[in-house]
C-alpha cells in the first residue's frame, strides 16, 4: 500500500513514517506539512491511503483538504489521525469523506488495522468512539435523530464556517475552496439561517464553542 502522511510537525511525520515502513505491506511515498501540500502529493503519487491530521496551521486545514481530496481523488482513502477524542470532530470528518478516525495515542496495531481496513474498502472508527457515534445518530427504535443544527450543515457549509470565523473575506474563502464569491455568500447565508445566528460575532462564538477553529 502506498501511503502519504500529512501533519504539520516534522517529528510526527518522521515517527509515523518509521513505523509504517517496517510493515511489509506498507510504504510511505511522501509526507506533507499542510492540506494544500497533501493535495498536490496525492495528485502526484496517487496513494492508496492518506493519513491526515486535522489541525495544521498556518497552512490549509485537514478538514478542507479532506473534502477536496475525497472529491477529486476518491480512490485515495483518508484516515484522520488526531489528538481529538471528540464526537463532533468525528462527525464532521466522516461527512467530508474520511474513511477512518484514529487517535494519535493509540497503539501502533490500531493504526495498522485502520489503514488495512480502509484499503479493503471498509470504514474504521476508533473503538472507544464507535459506541457513542451509534448512540448519537440512532434511537432505540432505530429512527435517526437530529437534535443539533450543526448536524444538518452541508459538507461545503462545514468548510466555510471555520474560515468565516477566522476572519477570511469572501474572496479569500472562494480562492481556498475553488468556488465563486457568490457561492460563498450563499453558503454564509445558509449557515446563519440553519444555526439561527444574527451576526458574525455570534458565528465566531458558535465556532469556538463547537471547536471549529481547531480545523
pTM of the model: 0.77
DSSP label at residue 107? -
Residue 206 CB neighbours (<10 A): 19
Q: What are the pLDDT digits (tens) for 154-208?
A: 888 888 988 888 888 999 999 988 899 999 999 999 999 998 888 888 888 888 8
The answer to whether the beta carbons of residues 65 and 26 sit under 8 Å apart is: no
In sequence order, the 6+-apart residues with CB closer than 8 A to the CB of 208 are 165
pLDDT band at 148; cut points 50, 70, 90: low
Cell numbers representing residue 156 in the block: 461545503
Nearest Cα neighbor of 51 from 59, 60, 65, 120 is: 65
Residue range 117-125: mean pLDDT, rounded: 95
Helix (H) or strand (E) holding 54: none
Q: Is the pLDDT of residue 152 over 50?
A: yes
More confident residue, 207 or 33: 33
Q: Hey, what's the cell of 189?
A: 447565508
Reference 161, options 136, 133, 119, 194; nearest CA is 194
DSSP letters, 120-187, are TT--EE-HHHHHHHHHHHB-TTS-B---SGGGG--HHHHHHHHHHHTT--HHHHHHHHT--HHHHHHH
When comparing pLDDT for 57 and 72, which is higher? 72
Amino acid at each position: 500500500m502506498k501511503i502519504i502522511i500529512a501533519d504539520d510537525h516534522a517529528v510526527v511525520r518522521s515517527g509515523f513514517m518509521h513505523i509504517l515502513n517496517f510493515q511489509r505491506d506498507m510504504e510511505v511515498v511522501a509526507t506533507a506539512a499542510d492540506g494544500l501540500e497533501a493535495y498536490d502529493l496525492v495528485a502526484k503519487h496517487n496513494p492508496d491511503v492518506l493519513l491526515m491530521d486535522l489541525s495544521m496551521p498556518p497552512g490549509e486545514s485537514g478538514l478542507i483538504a479532506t473534502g477536496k481530496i475525497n472529491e477529486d481523488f476518491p480512490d485515495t482513502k483518508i484516515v484522520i489521525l488526531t489528538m481529538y477524542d471528540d464526537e463532533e470532530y468525528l462527525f464532521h470528518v466522516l461527512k467530508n469523506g474520511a474513511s477512518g478516525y484514529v487517535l494519535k495515542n493509540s497503539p501502533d496495531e490500531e493504526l495498522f488495522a485502520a489503514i488495512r481496513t480502509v484499503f479493503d474498502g471498509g470504514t474504521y472508527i476508533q473503538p472507544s468512539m464507535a459506541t457513542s457515534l451509534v448512540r448519537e445518530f440512532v434511537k432505540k427504535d432505530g429512527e435517526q435523530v437530529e437534535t443539533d443544527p450543526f448536524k444538518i450543515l452541508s459538507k461545503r457549509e462545514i468548510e466555510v464556517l471555520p474560515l468565516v470565523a477566522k476572519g477570511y473575506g469572501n474572496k479569500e474563502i472562494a480562492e481556498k475552496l475553488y468556488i465563486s464569491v457568490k457561492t460563498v455568500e450563499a453558503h454564509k447565508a445558509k449557515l446563519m439561517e440553519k444555526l439561527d445566528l444574527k451576526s458574525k460575532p455570534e458565528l465566531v462564538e458558535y465556532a469556538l464553542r463547537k471547536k471549529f477553529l481547531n480545523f
